[in-house]
Amino acid sequence: MNPVRMQFIRDKLHEIAADEDTSTSLQPDQVLNGLDVLDVGCGGGLLTESLARMNARTTGIDASKSNISIATLHAQADPRLRDSGNINYLHTSAETLLDQPKRYDVVCSMEVLEHVDNPSQFLATCAELVKPGGHLFLSTISRTPLAYALTILMTEEILQNVSRGTHTYSKFVKPSELVQFFREYRSSSTGPNSSSALKPWITTPASANYIPRTEAELRGLIYNPLAARWHLAPRDAWGALECNYIFWVRKPKN
Amino acid sequence: MVLTSTSSRSAAYLQRSCRTLFAARSYSTNVVDCDVVIVGGGPAGLALASALGSSSVASKKISVTLVEGGDLHKIKSWNPAPDNFSNRVVSLTNTSQQFLKDTGAWSYLDQGRTCGVEQMQIWDGLSDARIEFFAEDLGPEIRKVGMSRLTENFNLQRGLLKHIENLPSVTLLDKTRVQSIRKGDSTDGAWPIVQLDNNQTLRARLLVGADGFNSPVRAYAQIPSFGWSYDTQAIVATMIHPPRGAYEGPNTTAYQRFLATGPIAFLPLSPCISSLVWSTKPALAKALLSCDPEVLSAMINASFRLPHISLKYLNSRILEEHAAGHPITPAKIREEIQWREKVHGFDQHSIYSSANAQSQLGVASMDSETLPPLITSIQPASPASFPLRFNHAETYLGEDSNARVVLVGDAAHTIHPLAGQGLNLGLADVECLSKCIENSLSSGGDIGSYTALLPYAQERYLANHILMAAVDKLHKIYTTELEPVVWARSTGVEILNELDTVKAALMMSAGAQTGPSLDASSAGWTMAGNAVQTLASASKTIGIMGNVVGNVLGAAVKNLAASQDQDTPDYPGILPTLQEAQTVIAQLTDEAQDKRESIVTLLSHINKLKEDIDAISNKLLEKIPLSTACHDAQGELWSASIESALIRLSLLKAQTEREFYNHSIPSTEAGKSTTKTSSKTVNQALEMGYGHLRAQEADMTKEAHQLDRQLLEYTNMLELVEGGKKGAYKQIVDDWAEVKQGTDECLKDLRRLGWTGD
């Protein structure tokens, strides 16, 4: 799934950069150069390494100590990553990072949301860690019968290639719930400019059934078992958000 | 192994592009970290280095090191006389040429030493069934460039080397052999460690095996390969002949005749020089190469002209004389050939006669271009031979503990040269692999990882396998003469069908440049379908033959039994044996029948599936008006952008209008206050006017609301237009291609099932 997620992150950042400066000559593969990126729940560091290879100053955090040591070891084996100094792993939680002043241009949290007990608190924490004008990328699974059939019934019960109990149906999050959260969410930080704190991240009303392209985006992630490959569904593809999906939202600027 | 000082000259050379890892824990020597290590400096390895080194993405992010045991400098400084041609020649399809043009290597080839093929003549040595291709039939673009372009391997290799010279991210290590490849420490990611014979050690992020059929890299990665050697040797030589006459076309026609011993091919290089690729039995190849070169040229001429029966006789004569220890003399073979020609009633002036080899002046006969020109001599030292085989690695990627290994070219697959596709397959591998690496790099992937390389294996394995299987099948069909079944087939009606597969195999690559990719894949599809069909009919024939033999034997046994009844014990004990034989044959016949039936049912399933898929594909294409034609797509793009521009305009208009109305409303309010100070009549008039204004204001607010709604709608529409461009259609096409691939894979399995029954 990783190449598809990276593709989405790269292309979205490039799209926004090109929107803001139409004369930019920035190539999609340079768009992460020098950005401060946080990967929440980095696991073995798959996404973290990819981000670091794109020259982002990447911090990967995970609540599991063994995950962090595996990820550190893996990155050490790659001479280019080791020498670039772009990777920094921390065994900590996102909440703990809030105490530090550092905020990030991009915060990613892939396939984590469906495992946390208090999703709105988790979302608020991730949102807090984003710089004004920065980006938040989330990927998770929707709470639909199809998602149940594919991610729990199929992978855990029938094929058993994922250990039983990995996923809990009730913890799955619907795309509309994510969108609603960012319509209502207001930053709690007492930043230098409080006006930005009051701005919603998604400005269209709930009744509009429409999200501005420059504020947030939802895309389905679809697995093709024949090719053993993940695909990024086109925008607004019918039924694409029924199972795995990726979500991007941008923090309003000051 | 103890390696102390490795600060050799070439180590310093390497460090230019690779960084040294001094803190190696378990090595007693310096280990140089490299991104891509290519083992093998053949055309495939060099093409990969040149593609990666010239790619704008890859050259910035990764270093490439190519290791070759031979002396590449010799090839780089290769500078033969204009009329002297090397014996190893390659036919580059237009797809391959385009790839070399894209990387920038093509311009480094000596264009004067290439020859575009404008015509192909292919015919059967037994039935003379002939098929012809003309470049102009394939469209105006192909007509200009030819169906493919012939050139010497050295010209290609030299061009690639000259191109690589200018690429800073590529390091060439020639005259350097790989001593061993081992797996690195697991704490170090278990990356492959390549030990060279110059005391250098490379640690590879990605190890590419471009090291030919006996690939050491494949052995290291423990990738099994399956295949067989054909009982065939390919003779190559550079042939000299007079130029084509004034009333004939130029020497741009390739000829191939399928003899019972293997195909013989004539590949034009220049007006009076052409290259030979002659697949034949090893004993015959050995005997021919030990004779005077004049014998070889006489036999080449004969092999394109004489009927099968005479060739068989001539071959046996050559073998006899060779076995007797005195190779046949040119005079003797010429005498034999002339006698055979007389027997067949060849006219002295016909193109089939070898007599006019020296005097090809005057007006050529009508059919003069159906045969290659007569060879007058062979370029000295050019004849050589090598064994042919079929070989396909079971996978192109090292898995699990042997990860970070990928195979390209002959290391992955070896093929019979009859369709001239071996090197083209290798270049297609290289093109696909370098694209795959670029894609991975541009999304931060680790190019050695299985995920990054999987698309390469998925795209190439099946494509290669289908073509390889088709070529193998062709070889087998055309080299059997003993089994009466296949004899009947090759001289019968089905030959046309088979020639169609040759056509498909050649066209698929030749026409790939002009046709959209969907067509190319369906050509492969049809070919695979044909292959299964042929299998089914072959087993059917075998079944019938079994029945016939069974019946004949049965009759014989009955006769014997009858004679025994008449008390003539001439053949004691033979009866039970014969009866046993009969039952065995009956069993075998039944088995063959069963197998045939299962194949036939499978075939009908496949055909149904094929039909369904074709129907769906047609419907899909109908439903989606975005046709494959470039013009339509462009038209749509234009209309979409015009539409979006219109919407943008409306948006602007709406915004300004809203702006205007919002401001105009307070100004009517001001009008109301002035009425108070005016006189009564004026007041009344104004009140009336005010009422009008109020009504107008209400209308305007309504309109403003309406405009607001429209505004939102326009934004939505803009979104839709911009978002839609990326491609629901492309997604469908991609998925569609994948469904096809999957079904192709099923077909492959089926073919395997068929082969075991053969």
The pLDDT tens digits for A167-226 are 999 999 999 999 999 999 887 654 555 555 578 899 888 887 788 888 999 999 998 887
Q: What is the DSSP letter of A156?
A: I
Of B187, B452, B726, the CB nearest to A235: B726
Alpha carbons A203 and A211: distance in angstroms, whole number: 8
pLDDT exceeds 50 at position B11: no
The continuous run of DSSP H or E covering A3 comes out as: helix A2-20
Whether B454 and B397 have beta carbons less than 8 Å apart is answered as: yes
Residues B355 and B369 in one domain: yes
My answer on whether B374 and B410 are in the same domain is no
| Closest-CA distance of chain B to residue A97, Å | 26
Residues B403 and B282 in one domain: no
Q: Which of A115-119, B210-214, B629-633 has the lowest mean pLDDT?
A: B629-633
Q: What percentage of chain B carries pLDDT values higher than 90?
A: 36
The verdict on residue B256 lying in a domain is: yes
The answer on B307 and B241 residing in a single domain is: yes
Confidence of residue B244 (pLDDT cuts 50, 70, 90): confident
Contact A226 B739 (CB under 8 A): yes
How much is the average pLDDT of B436-453? Answer: 93
Going B59 to B63 to B68 to B73, the CA torsion angle's sign is: positive
Q: Give the one of B21, B444, B742 whose C-beta lies nearest to A54's C-beta.
A: B444
Distance to chain B for A103, nearest Cα, Å: 23
Please give the class, per CATH, of domain A3-19+29-187+197-251: alpha beta
- Residue B439 with chain A: CB contacts under 8 Å: 3
Residue of B nearest to A70 (CA): B187
DSSP string of B10-28, one letter each residue? HHHHHHTTS-EETT-SS-S
Contact residues on chain B for A6, CB-CB shorter than 8 A: 443-445
Nearest CA-CA distance, residue A130 and chain B, Å: 22
How sure is the predictor about B633, in pLDDT bands with cuts at 50, 70 and 90?
low
More confident site: B3 or B203 = B203
Structural domain includes residue B362? yes
B646 within domain boundaries: no
Picking from A218-232, B193-207, B435-449, which range would have the lowest pLDDT averaged per residue?
Answer: A218-232
Q: B-side interface with A, Cβ within 8 Å? A: 19, 21, 33, 35, 57, 187-189, 191, 203, 205, 439-446, 451-452, 454-455, 458, 712, 715-716, 719-720, 722-724, 726-728, 731, 734-735, 738-739, 741-742
| Residue B750: inside a domain | yes
ipTM: 0.90
Total residue length of chain A: 254
Interface touch A231/B734, C-beta < 8 Å: yes
Residue B593: which of B553, B550, B529 has the closest Cα? B550
pLDDT at B117 over 50: yes
Query: Chain B contacts of A79, Cβ < 8 Å?
Result: 19, 21, 33, 203
Residue B736, phi-psi category: left (phi > 0), alpha (psi -120 to 50), beta (remainder): alpha
Same domain, B317 and B274: yes
How far apart CA B694 and CA B702 sit, in angstroms, is 12
Closest residue to A6, CB basis, from B189, B443, B739? B443
Assess whether B190 and B306 both reside in one domain.
Answer: no
Q: Which of A83, A233, A235 sits opposite B19 (nearest CB)?
A: A83
Whether residue B416 is predicted with pLDDT greater than 90 in this model: the reply is: no
B241 compared with B9, residue with greater pLDDT: B241
Q: What is the CATH number of the domain that holds B323?
A: 3.30.9.10
Among B448, B480, B512, give the residue marking a domain's end.
B480
Regarding predicted confidence, which is higher, B207 or A212?
A: B207
Q: How far does A186 lie from chain B, in Å, by closest CA?
A: 24
Residue of higher predicted confidence among A186 and B269 = B269
Number of domains, chain B = 4
Q: Is A212 on the interface with B (CB under 8 A)?
A: yes
On whether both B70 and B192 belong to a single domain, the answer is yes
Chains A, B: CB contacts within 8 A come to 90
Residue B215 to residue B408: CA distance in whole angstroms: 10
Nearest chain B CA: its distance from A226 CA (Å): 6
Helix/strand/coil (H/E/C) assignment for every residue in B475-488: HHHHHCCCCHHHHH
Spell out which residues of chain A touch residue B441, defining contact as CB-CB under 8 Å.
29, 53
Answer whether A234 touches B (CB < 8 Å).
Answer: yes
Read off the pTM: 0.71
Whether B597 is in a domain gets the answer: yes
Enclosing domain of residue B370: 230-386
pLDDT digits (tens, 9 = 90+) for B644-679: 777 777 777 777 777 666 554 444 444 444 444 445
pLDDT of residue A200: 87
Q: Where are the domains of chain A?
A: 3-19+29-187+197-251
Interface touch A79/B19, C-beta < 8 Å: yes
- Quick one: B297 and B401 in the same domain? no
- CB contact at 8 A, B686 and B675: yes
Kindly indicate the confidence band of residue B723, based on its pLDDT and cuts at 50, 70 and 90: low
Residue B61 and residue B209 share a domain: yes
Residues B378 and B467 in one domain: no
Residues 6+ apart with CB under 8 A from A231: A4, A221, A222, A223, A224, B731, B734
Closest in A28, A213, A228 to B719, CB measured: A213
* Interface contact flag, A224 B57, Cβ < 8 Å: no
One domain for residues B54 and B187: yes
As a whole number of angstroms, the distance between CA B474 and CA B363 comes to 37
Min mean pLDDT across A128-142, A151-165, B168-182 is at A151-165
Residues B54 and B197 occupy one common structural domain = yes
What whole-number distance in Å separates Cα of residue B197 and Cα of residue B69? 10
A-chain CB neighbours of B19 within 8 Å are: 79, 83
